[in-house]
């Protein structure tokens, strides 16, 4: 593997090793081979990272937005120049096909660095006239921000959290998922090379306990988690106890609704993107595919035809468009859901099995005739399992689509534009799509409602979550007092 990180942690501008922490083996999901070992952060390492971040942040906040932005934009350029090697590393870390990682990971991270680099100089306050007197506001950084990542997009998540945090004048400590610890280290390396002062972007490895120790530390001002709803509940309540700012990007069970009048191939394409990209390990996936009865047979037939062109194999081969699951344990979880689907009476129309080869490969799987009460229609599976449900009319499908605790994403395929906007308007979800699915440009806010989260990543919205406003009342005349 090219350009592997040289130690477990990145603190105060340099790699740091401490082999007294618990070893964490990094496994290439396509073969099951151990490709690296990192060591979980000890309390001393966590302390070192927090102190480095605190020391560096004050000076960074004093720099102009233009200067801060220049560093981020330089980092974006370096990431794009090294896209190939970063994509190879992402593929080793996650198992996602190189065909995907070349266009969706370091490139998306670079977009975030470029976008927030551009925004940094525009972060100003307001002038509020009050007759003779006036109020002005100042947008200030929060201080030390902690980012905790899931394993599906390790480079992207490290940048989606780091770029807005740094643009606003904060320092960041990022803890990657223990399953994919390598990529965030390269992000830290690139930021330093781009001129980021030491201490502003630190990476510490570890399991949930390391994340928890960061979240509860009184020196930390903000926590941004990408993870599951159960972890989100724990992290949110721990952060609340310390009155910290939070962003929670959590799981989903999103509806993708296909009306009879939809363009068939676009709807099938949307369902494929929304269920099988990254082997289905995408939080915003449209895993409940509601198909109106009149188009159901044609939809399933066309889906089956297009699934014939899935190329399942070595993710390092650019011809492969469907790779392994991230880990043996995730594969076992998904196999459990497939078994439940069969037990509860869903009709298996494609896939359903594990491939007979090394690594953690499952077939892309489709169940039809799924009903709302089945486990595979209610719980987040986080694997390549599409559930197709039938519906008759608009009001019915809106009610059923909303009958979930989750609210991350939703999509509608129809040629009727009024209906598209009406239905999207009625769906309880944060990130929605009309005649498309799973696009995530940095310019668009991303995040969920209900149990799927709090706050938004990307776009100008993210600035609200990495900064706070100071308001200053200025009196021009004399102070009147009661006595």
What amino acid positions are annotated as catalytic residues?
161, 249, 283, 457
Site for ligand NDP in 248-267 (CB under 6 A): 249-252
Q: Does residue 450 belong to the site contacting ligand NDP (CB under 6 A)?
A: no
- Please tell me the count of residues contacting ligand NDP according to CB under 6 A: 31
Structure tokens at 225: 């988690």
> Annotated binding residue at 162?
no
Q: Is 27 annotated as a binding residue?
A: yes
In DSSP terms, 386 is beta-bridged to 366
> d(Cα 449, Cα 452) in Å, to the nearest integer?
5
The interface region with ligand NDP, picked from 126-134, 220-228, 271-279, 359-367 by CB under 6 A, is 220-228
Contact 199, 40 (CB under 8 A): no
Is 381 known as a binding-site position? no
Q: Which is nearer to ligand NDP, 13 or 251 (CB)?
A: 251
93 is in an annotated binding site: yes
Q: How far is the CB of 230 from ligand NDP (least distance, A)?
A: 7
How far apart are alpha carbons 332 and 281 in whole angstroms?
A: 14
Residue placing its CB nearer to ligand NDP in the complex, 143 or 211: 211
The encoded tokens of residue 391 equal: 């519906």
Give the 3-state DSSP-derived string for 260-310, with helices as H, strands as E and coil as C.
Answer: CCCCHHHHHHHHHHHHHHHHHCCCCCCCEEEEEHHHHHHHHHHHHHHHCCC
Instruction: Yes or no: say if 95 and 359 are a contact pair by the CB < 8 Å rule.
Output: yes
Q: How far is residue 370's CA from residue 292's CA, in Å, rounded to a whole number?
A: 13
- The answer to whether 231 contacts ligand NDP (rule: CB under 6 A) is yes
The three-state secondary structure class of 82 is coil
Q: Is 150 in the site for ligand NDP (CB under 6 A)?
A: yes
Task: Give the nearest distance from C-beta 65 to ligand NDP in angstroms.
Answer: 26
Shortest reach from residue 457's CB to ligand NDP, in Å: 7
List the one residue out of 201, 208, 185, 157 whose CA is nearest residue 36: 185
Inter-axis angle of helices 106-119 and 65-81, to 10 degrees? 160
Per the CB < 8 A criterion, the answer to whether 34 and 27 are in contact is yes
**Closest approach of ligand NDP to the CB of residue 231, in Å:** 3
251 is in an annotated binding site: yes
The stretch near ligand NDP (CB under 6 A) out of 244-252, 314-322, 415-423, 434-442 is 244-252
Q: Which residues contact 334 (CB under 8 A, 6 or more apart)?
A: 280, 325, 362, 381, 382, 383, 384, 385
Closest Cα to residue 245, out of 153, 383, 142? Answer: 142
Binding of ligand NDP by 283 (CB under 6 A): yes
Binders of ligand NDP among residues 23 to 82 (CB under 6 A) are none
320 binds ligand NDP (CB under 6 A): no
151 is in an annotated binding site: yes
Span from 245-253, 268-276, 304-312, 350-358 in contact with ligand NDP (CB under 6 A)? 245-253
Distance of CA 364 to the CA centre of its chain: 22
| Strands across the sheet containing 9-11 | 14-16, 9-11, 201-203, 171-175, 144-148, 222-226, 245-249, 453-454
Site mask, ligand NDP, residues 354-393, x = CB under 6 A? --------------------------x-x-----------
Which parts are annotated binding residues for NAD(+)?
A: 149-151, 175-178, 251, 283, 380
Binding site for ligand NDP (CB under 6 A): 148-152, 175, 177-179, 207-208, 211-212, 215, 225-228, 231, 234-235, 249-252, 283, 380, 382, 408, 448, 453
Q: Give the residue numbers of the binding site.
A: 27, 93, 149-151, 175-178, 251, 283, 380, 450, 453
Question: Annotated binding site for K(+): which residue ranges?
Answer: 27, 93, 450, 453
């Amino acid at each position: 593997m090219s350009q592997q990180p040289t130690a477990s942690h990145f603190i105060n501008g340099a790699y740091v090793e401490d082999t007294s922490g618990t070893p964490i083996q990094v496994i290439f999901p396509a073969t099951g081979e151990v490709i690296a070992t990192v060591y979980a952060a000890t309390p001393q390492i966590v302390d070192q990272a927090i102190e480095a971040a605190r020391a560096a942040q004050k000076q960074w906040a004093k720099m102009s937005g233009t200067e801060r932005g220049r560093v981020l934009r330089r980092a974006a350029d370096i990431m794009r120049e090294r896209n190939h090697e970063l994509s190879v590393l992402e593929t080793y870390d996650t198992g996602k096909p190189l065909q995907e990682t070349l266009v969706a990971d370091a490139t998306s991270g670079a977009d975030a660095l470029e976008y927030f680099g551009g925004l940094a100089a525009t972060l100003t306050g307001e002038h509020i006239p009050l007759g003779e007197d006036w109020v002005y506001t100042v947008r200030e950084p929060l201080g030390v921000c902690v980012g905790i990542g899931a394993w599906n997009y390790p480079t992207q998540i490290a940048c989606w959290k780091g770029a807005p945090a740094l643009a606003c004048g904060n320092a960041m400590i990022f803890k990657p998922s223990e399953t994919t610890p390598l990529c965030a280290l390269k992000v830290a390396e690139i930021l330093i090379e781009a001129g980021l002062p030491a201490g502003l972007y630190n990476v510490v490895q570890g399991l949930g306990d390391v994340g928890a120790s960061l979240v509860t530390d009184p020196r930390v001002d903000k926590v941004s988690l990408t993870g599951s709803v159960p972890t989100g509940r724990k992290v949110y309540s721990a952060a609340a106890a310390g009155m910290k700012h939070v962003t929670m990007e959590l799981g989903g069970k999103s509806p993708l609704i296909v009306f009879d009048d939809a363009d068939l191939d676009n709807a099938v394409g949307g369902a494929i993107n929304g269920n099988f990209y990254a082997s289905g390990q995408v939080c915003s996936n449209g895993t409940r595919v509601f198909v109106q009865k009149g188009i159901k047979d044609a939809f399933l037939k066309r889906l089956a035809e297009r699934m014939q062109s899935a190329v399942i194999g070595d993710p390092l081969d650019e011809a492969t468009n469907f790779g392994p699951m991230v880990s043996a344990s995730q594969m076992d979880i998904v196999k459990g859901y497939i078994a439940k689907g069969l037990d509860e009476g869903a009709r298996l129309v494609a896939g359903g099995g594990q491939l007979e080869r090394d690594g953690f490969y499952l077939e892309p799987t489709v169940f039809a005739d799924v009903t709302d009460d089945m486990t595979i229609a209610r719980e987040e599976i986080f694997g390549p399992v599409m559930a197709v449900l039938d519906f008759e009319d608009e009001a019915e499908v809106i009610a059923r689509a909303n009958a979930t605790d989750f609210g991350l994403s939703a999509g509608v395929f129809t040629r009727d534009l009024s209906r598209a906007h009406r239905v999207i308007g009625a769906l309880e979800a944060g990130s929605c799509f009309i005649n498309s699915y799973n696009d995530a440009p940095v310019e668009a806010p991303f995040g969920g409602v209900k149990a799927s989260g709090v706050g938004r990543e990307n776009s100008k919205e993210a600035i609200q979550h990495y900064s706070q406003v100071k308001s200053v009342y200025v009196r021009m005349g004399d102070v009147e007092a009661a006595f």
